Amino acid sequence: NSFVTRTNTCGELRSAHVGQEVTLYGWIQYQRQGLFLVLRDFQGLTQIIIPQDEAHAHVKKLLSNAPVESVVRVTGIVTSRPPGQENPKMPTGDIEVKAETAEVLNSCKKLPFEIKDFIKKSEALRMQYRYLDLRSFQLQYNLRLRSQIVMRMREYLCNLHGFVDVETPTLFKRTPGGAKEFLVPSREAGKFYCLPQSPQQFKQLLMVGGLDRYFQVARCYRDEGSRPDRQPEFTQIDIEMSFVDQAGIQRLIEGLLQYSWPEERGSVTTPFPSMRYEEALANYGTDKPDTRFGMKIVDMSDFSRRSDIRFVQDALSYPHGTVKAICIPHGVRYLKNKDLESLKESAKSRFNQEIMEIICRPDGSLKSLLTKFLGEKQQSELIQALNMQVDDVVLLAAGEHKQVCSALGNLRLETADLLEAAGLVLRDPTAFHFLWVVDFPLFLPKEENPTELESAHHPFTAPHPSDTSLLYSDPTKVRSQHYDLVLNGNEVGGGSIRIHSAEQQRFVLEKVLKEDSEVLSHLLEALEFGAPPHGGIALGLDRLISLIVDAPSIRDVIAFPKSFRGRDLMGNAPDYVTPEELEPYHIQVSWPLAEKKAKKN
């Protein structure tokens, strides 16, 4: 209550305050028949008794007529609630305040929706009136917890471990590779700035500058279009260190999360387990496995080689051909036929992968189109290989290794959704399973042109020390010093040890990635002036907080987020500007014909 004219907040009054005169400010949450109202502020709720005597008729009229969500000041005496009228669900439930004087500071007009967490509101309406949505308990809690966690992270990095908090520029230039960047016009004809997708180059240059340990709560920008789990502007905890290896960065981040983790969410156990990229793909079908539940992918290739199933043999005859399966425990009890068809359709439409189901009947026999190709002994071996029990359902796929793994990994998650919708709890929302994924490939074939390579992480990632020679002979086989931090199946951080040799960096850009190194001439030159070995990481703050509070979307932990389509529905941005405003930037807008007509009308 420092610096303000209230004596107390609406959440702090207790029996010990009985008899005291207090002044409260807040919003009217609820009012009942001119008898009492509930006043709310950022800290909680207090019940206010509206006086009924003639001497306070003005106060009664004022508070009885004030609309819900009006802002009022109330001065009164704290009293105990009558016996039997205490409210144990409210921290202030033992007391009430008898109003002596009151003032309506600002009346509220008719609301577009009720300010209550349990009232269903469309997300578009919530974002249009975000300033009202921010009054809800859940958003207040999310934003305050976010602030506390960031403060603890600053303490750990700056006060305990000597990191320097440095702001890096928002206006920069295009970076080759990576996500699409937002362009910002300049007054020089044909020249544009780019908003950085991360402070990657700047933090490396800070290491060249000898700062040794850098940290920033960094605003980042990516023009990625409509993606439900992404925002065009987002925040990351950005970190870089000199003279560090992968294990050092991992220990730092484990300590950081342990130190800043909110007490009410339990404790964080370190060290976090680690898994190689190939192992994650083979067992979970993804590079961000959710390890809270089983249903791992099982390799059936050895068993399948002994079978006479034609499509299986065809798949195994190709390079990287494989046969794999997932076993859904008690799948028959929880999944309907339409669910199994939906899973098979999903694999077909998203991955072009055929799926065959196998069901274990109550008598232990198998029901599947495959059984006619398998003798009793082979069926028994199949049951054993998959550890099948009665009522289990197996989804089997044959084909190219990565495609099969990705399809089954996706089906594993879709199946978990279906099982949980049917009442089975698989993924405990209160459990937090951290995992390091390491040994990624340094390069991957481009989707649009598999003969060309792109960086799996970014072009500044150093090759694994054991694979450096392969960089020059067979770059497709090089592992990287890139590491991702995964929490409950979500990537919450990614980093790497960087290339600190100008010669090696130029080779990667020009010879492997076929990029124009001139765009990065400033960085390449800096690496020639005694750049120290260095590495770092960035944690996605929005996603991390959304997982901690179990929010359905990262938009629920950002004060003023953009919509699914990247729009600000409250301020209606982006918006049109006039040709006169564009003139200094040497830009003319070429309108599509339909929009021209719409603007005329």
* 364 pLDDT tier (thresholds 50, 70, 90): confident
Q: What is the DSSP code (8-state) at residue 463?
A: B
Contacts of 14 (CB under 8 A, 6+ apart): 91, 92, 94, 95
Q: Say if residue 599's pLDDT is above 90.
A: no
CA distance 522 to 507: 16
Q: Where are the domains of the chain?
A: 15-106, 139-275+433-557, 293-422
220 to 31, 144, 217, 257: CA distances (angstroms): 44, 21, 10, 21
CA distance 142 to 215: 23
Q: Where are the beta strands (DSSP E) in 405-489?
A: 434-438, 443-445, 453-455, 482-487
Question: What pLDDT, in 10s, does the model give residues 254-297?
Answer: 999 999 999 999 999 999 999 999 999 999 999 999 999 999 99
The stretch 386-406 carries a mean pLDDT of 94
The CA-to-CA distance between both ends of the chain, in Å, stands at 54
Was domain 293-422 assigned CATH 3.30.1360.30? yes
Question: What pLDDT, in 10s, does the model give residues 311-334?
Answer: 788 888 888 899 999 999 999 999
Same CATH fold assignment for domains 15-106 and 293-422: no
Q: Using omega within 30 degrees of 0 as the cis cutoff, is the peptide bond preceding 574 cis?
A: yes
The stretch 129-147 carries a mean pLDDT of 96
When the pLDDT of each residue in the chain is averaged and rounded to a whole number, the result is: 93
State how beta strands 321-328 and 393-400 pair. Answer: antiparallel
Would you identify the CATH topology of the domain 15-106?
OB fold (Dihydrolipoamide Acetyltransferase, E2P) (2.40.50)
- What are the respective helix, strand and coil percentages of the chain, to the nearest 5? 35, 25, 40
DSSP 68-113: TT-EEEEEEEEEEPPTT---TTSTTTTEEEEEEEEEEEE-----SS
CATH entry, 139-275+433-557, from 3.40.50.300, 3.20.20.70, 3.30.930.10, 3.40.109.10: 3.30.930.10
Cα four-point dihedral sign 349, 350, 355, 360: negative
* 220 pLDDT tier (thresholds 50, 70, 90): very high
State how beta strands 164-165 and 183-185 pair. Answer: unpaired
Residue 16 burial by CB count (10 A; 0-12/13-18/19+): exposed, middle or buried? exposed
**526 Ramachandran zone, left/alpha/beta (phi>0; psi -120 to 50):** alpha
CB atoms within 10 A of CB 151: 11
The answer to whether 409 touches 280, Cβ cutoff 8 Å, is no
